[in-house]
Structure 1
Amino acid sequence: MEVLPAVFIGTVIILGARILAHLLKFRGYFEALDVPKVRMWTFNQHKMVFQYFDIECMLQFGRIWGKYEGITPHLFLAEPKLIKEVLVKKFDSFVDRQYFPMEEKHRSLVDARSESWRVMRRILTPTFTSGKLKTMFTPMQRVADEFIVAVEQRLKTGPVVDMKPLYQALSLDTIANCAFGVNTNSFTQPNNVLFRKCRDVFSDLRIKNVLESTILFLGSYFPKVLEWIDLFGLENFDYLWRTTRDIALTREGSRGDFIDKLIELKEDLDKGKCPLNEDQIFAQGIGFFQAGFETSSNTMTTMMYTFAKNPYVQNTVFEEIKEVLRDSKNGIDYDAIGKMTYLDATIKENLRMYPPVTRIDRLCLQDCRLDDATRQKLLIKKGTVVQIPIYAIHHNPDFFPEPYVFRPERFLSAEDISVADMTFQAFGSGPRTCIGMRFAMAEMKIALAKFILKFKVVDCPETKLDFLPGDPFFLAYSSLCVKLETR
């Protein structure tokens, strides 16, 4: 009988030792790197505007700083040369994003890891070629025209309009029509389930109260906790997965779009020729909504703020569009938007000032040394999360002189020193850069060109861009109102 207490005590000691080793795994890491360590009040994350926090850290500590999230060290890099090391030169050591508690069946190209990501990227890249993009122009134009009608209808209730829900509807309907071949009619049916689920995917990522801050605190030490508690609305991912599968399996005929690609992959799988499984194939629909819905709608909405606050920029865009269309036989087509260089620069400057994704991250998969001119080579240990604070970098006066002045001219000349290598990260960089960048730019140019030809955006007392706290990944705000006048 005396053996049992001894076994129990021995087991407790062993478990305690393992837990202690787990908790102290990275102890002293930042001190060894001679990197300043940031302390933050963990239970207060629901009150933090993270992009402002990043700017404060950059101003106080420079271009490199670190902080612990539980036991995991997060190394923040705002130094372009080091960012290039992580995202490009030594990408093989930083293929993955940080851990996110979700089922493997829901991991699309956006969230895929290691070899799965490599396979998905190789397979999906041909879906976003210039040729494929041209075939999407007709549905893009049709949805943009429906958007204009919806704005006109909204103006009947008054000149001040909240543009956020309208651009969200535009973004969803564009994806649904171009990639999935379905009409979601979000302008006339704003409460359709798909629209709600897409909005919830992003709103559920925000930390909204002290309880969620506490759960995240526990999860930062013991990640399995987050697999038991659905803090991020993972049922939304399952809905998008099932929607993608149902559309693919019930389609009749070919349209040459994204769903056709998934059908092709499913047929190859049935023949034993596809390296993805069925879950991974239909998860790509989740990725299209993840990557395309909030980012594009967010950017177009903040463009309304930009136009309201910068009437000269708005008028210059308007005049350029009119001039381009005078020589265009087919209206706002592929060739026409390619000639709208000032509009292109305006969108990019807007992405600089108001990037919809405020941070990107990479997980170090193996010990790796980065070349750092200011010190000996920087050792990044396996398990470290490298954070690229995009919003802070975009507002660093060392990279962008007068960072709070809206100046599209920064992007009009390749020789402009204010857009140096790796300082503009709105779409990321390296092999994991946004695969749908050209799709997003085309969608935004078409919609904004049609809009600005029809309406003038005017500043008014309701025109405010107030960022919501608690979102460590996205530029969150509840609404954006402007006054519209018909031209």
Structure 2
Amino acid sequence: MDTLWTVLIGSVMILGARILAHLLKFRGYFELIGVPKVKETTFRLHQVVFHDFDVACMHKYGRVWGKYEGVAPHVFIVEPELLKDVLVKRFESFVERQYFPMEDKHRSLVDARSDAWKTMRKALTPTFTSGKLKNMFLNMHNVADEFIDAIQERLETNDVVDMKPLFQALSLDTIANCAFGVHTNSFKHPNNALFKRCQDLFSDMRVKNATESSLIFLGSYFPKIMEWIDLFGLENFEYLFDTTKDIALKRQEPRGDFVDKLKEMKSECDKGKGDLNEDQIFAQGVGFFQAGFETSSNTMTTLMYSFAKNPKVQELAYQEVTEVLKDTKGVVDYEAISKMTYLEAVIKENLRLNPPVIRIDRTCMKDTIIGGEKTPSLKLKKGTVVQIPIYAIHRNPDFFPNPDTFRPERFLEKDESVAEMTFQAFGGGPRVCIGMRFAMSEMKIALAKLISRFKITDSPQTKLTLLPGDPFFLAYPEMKVRLERR
């Protein structure tokens, strides 16, 4: 019996020592590398407005600061030279994003790690060439026309319209039509399952109460726990995975779209020639919705606020669109949107002021030194998470003079005020957003059709009320503007 107790006590002590070593392995890290440390928010994550928090830290601590999230040290970087090292020069040390509790079968290009990411990126890049995009234009046009029809219908009862669900429907239907060959028409059928799942996918990311804050705090110390406690609506990922697989397996006639690419990849996999397994292939459908739904709809929705508050900017955009469409007899084709340089600058300036993704991150995969040329060097230890606070970077007056002013001219070629690595709306380096041109085409087509028919004006209900508790996205409940027919 004594021997049994001795073994039991010894085992508990060993386990306790290992847990303690795990909890303390990074303690003192920020002091060692000379980075100011921010106090943890602990149990009130649901009350934190994360983008404001980042801006406040930037003004208080400068261009680099640190924060423990559970065990892991998170280093926040605003300095362009350090960002270039992380995203470009020393990319091999920062390929992975931070750990997210999801099944491996759901890890698409968005969440993939190391070699799997490289393989996925190489396989999917041909899907977003100029030629492929041109083939998608007809579907983009059709969805944009349904978007305009939906607005016309709403104006019959009220000239103040909540644009958020309309732009969400536009974004979902564009992806469904262009990439999957499915006509959803979420304007007329807002309760269709695919639309609701995509909405839930992002609303479930918000931390909504003290219980969720506490569970996330616990999970930050023991990440594997989060695989047993679903706080992020992981059933939505499963639904999108199953939907992608179902569409692909039922597809009979080729359309030259994203689903056909997945079918091609599966065929190679079945022959034993591909580098991805079946789950990894169909997970790319999850990634398309994950990366394309909220980002585009969020951008266009907040742009309505920017247009309403900056009528002179809207008028200049309208004049450009009108002039371009005169030459194309009203057709918003590939060549037409390429000439809408001011409209593109407007979109980018709105992405600067209101980036839909407020942070991106990279995990340091091996001890790495960054900086040292123009800025002091910084030694990052393996396991450190580098946080890139996009919202704060875009509001830094050193990079963007008068940062709260909406001035699209910053992004015109004649104005070279946008320094390298200071505009991070699409990320940077090899892991830059693969669907950037798809998103810009979708937005320019829809916005050109919108402002050529309607004037967006301010109203007492036009407010951008940003919600707390979302560490990933710029969250707000609605966006109501007054629309006037031109």
Q: TM-score range by the shorter chain?
A: over 0.9
Cα offsets for 1:239-288 (capped at 9, x unmatched): 00000000000011010000000011111111111110000000000000
Whole-Å separation in 2 of the counterparts to 1:398 and 1:70: 32
What code does the residue aligned with 1:16 have? G
What code does the residue aligned with 2:259 have? I
The equivalences for 1:3-402 within 5 A come to 3-329=3-329, 331-373=331-373, 376-402=376-402
2:453 is aligned to 454
Whole-Å separation in 1 of the counterparts to 2:360 and 2:373: 23
Displacement of 1:35 in angstroms is: 0.6
What code does the residue aligned with 1:10 have? G
1:475 partnered with 2:474: yes
Whole-Å separation in 2 of the counterparts to 1:471 and 1:96: 21
Whole-Å separation in 2 of the counterparts to 1:275 and 1:442: 31
Whole-Å separation in 1 of the counterparts to 2:2 and 2:443: 74
Residues paired across the two proteins, number: 486
2:439 is aligned to 440
Displacement of 1:196 in angstroms is: 0.5
Q: 2:26, 2:71 within 8 Å by CA — same for their partners in 1?
A: yes
Measured at CA, do residues 465 and 247 of structure 1 come closer, stay the same or move farther in structure 2, by a change above 3 Å? same
What code does the residue aligned with 1:485 have? E
Displacement of 1:373 in angstroms is: 5.0
Secondary structure of the corresponding residue to residue 276 of structure 1: coil
Cα offsets for 1:306-364 (capped at 9, x unmatched): 11000000110000011011112571000000000100100000000000000000000
Cα offsets for 1:412-431 (capped at 9, x unmatched): 126522x0000000000000
What code does the residue aligned with 1:400 have? F
What code does the residue aligned with 2:146 have? E
Whole-Å separation in 1 of the counterparts to 2:332 and 2:415: 29
What code does the residue aligned with 1:456 have? K
Measured at CA, do residues 202 and 68 of structure 1 come closer, stay the same or move farther in structure 2, by a change above 3 Å? same
Whole-Å separation in 2 of the counterparts to 1:269 and 1:72: 37
Cα offsets for 1:168-209 (capped at 9, x unmatched): 000000000000001011000000000000011111110000
Q: 2:85, 2:371 within 8 Å by CA — same for their partners in 1?
A: yes
What code does the residue aligned with 1:27 have? R
What code does the residue aligned with 1:437 have? M
Whole-Å separation in 1 of the counterparts to 2:117 and 2:31: 34
What code does the residue aligned with 1:231 have? L
Whole-Å separation in 2 of the counterparts to 1:216 and 1:62: 28
Whole-Å separation in 1 of the counterparts to 2:255 and 2:452: 31
Gaps of 5+ in 2: none
Q: 2:208, 2:469 within 8 Å by CA — same for their partners in 1?
A: yes
Whole-Å separation in 2 of the counterparts to 1:228 and 1:17: 24
Whole-Å separation in 2 of the counterparts to 1:204 and 1:363: 24
Whole-Å separation in 1 of the counterparts to 2:36 and 2:414: 35
Whole-Å separation in 1 of the counterparts to 2:78 and 2:279: 37
What code does the residue aligned with 2:448 have? A
Displacement of 1:372 in angstroms is: 3.7
2:462 is aligned to 463
Secondary structure of the corresponding residue to residue 196 of structure 2: helix
Q: Alpha carbon RMSD of aligned pairs, Å? A: 0.9
Whole-Å separation in 2 of the counterparts to 1:171 and 1:337: 18
Deviates more, 1:407-416 or 1:203-212: 407-416
Cα offsets for 1:406-465 (capped at 9, x unmatched): 000000126522x00000000000000000000000000000000001110010100000
Whole-Å separation in 2 of the counterparts to 1:375 and 1:332: 46
Whole-Å separation in 2 of the counterparts to 1:375 and 1:142: 50
Whole-Å separation in 1 of the counterparts to 2:452 and 2:371: 49
Q: 2:409, 2:415 within 8 Å by CA — same for their partners in 1?
A: no
Instruction: Flag as ranges the 4+ runs of structure 1 deviating above 4 A.
Output: 373-376
What code does the residue aligned with 2:21 have? A
1:429 is aligned to 428
Whole-Å separation in 1 of the counterparts to 2:248 and 2:375: 54
2:409 is aligned to 409
Secondary structure of the corresponding residue to residue 223 of structure 2: coil
Deviates more, 1:466-475 or 1:329-338: 329-338
Cα offsets for 1:286-309 (capped at 9, x unmatched): 000011000000000011001100
What code does the residue aligned with 2:484 have? E
What code does the residue aligned with 1:443 have? E
Whole-Å separation in 2 of the counterparts to 1:186 and 1:232: 24
Gaps of 5+ in 1: none
Displacement of 1:41 in angstroms is: 2.6
What code does the residue aligned with 2:354 have? Y
Secondary structure of the corresponding residue to residue 38 of structure 2: coil
What code does the residue aligned with 1:431 have? P
TM-score (norm. length: structure 1):
0.99
Secondary structure of the corresponding residue to residue 7 of structure 1: helix
Secondary structure of the corresponding residue to residue 457 of structure 1: strand
Whole-Å separation in 2 of the counterparts to 1:49 and 1:374: 32
What code does the residue aligned with 1:442 have? S
Whole-Å separation in 2 of the counterparts to 1:27 and 1:374: 29
TM-score (norm. length: structure 2):
0.99
Whole-Å separation in 1 of the counterparts to 2:36 and 2:97: 23
Whole-Å separation in 1 of the counterparts to 2:345 and 2:148: 23
Whole-Å separation in 1 of the counterparts to 2:224 and 2:99: 11
What code does the residue aligned with 1:215 have? L
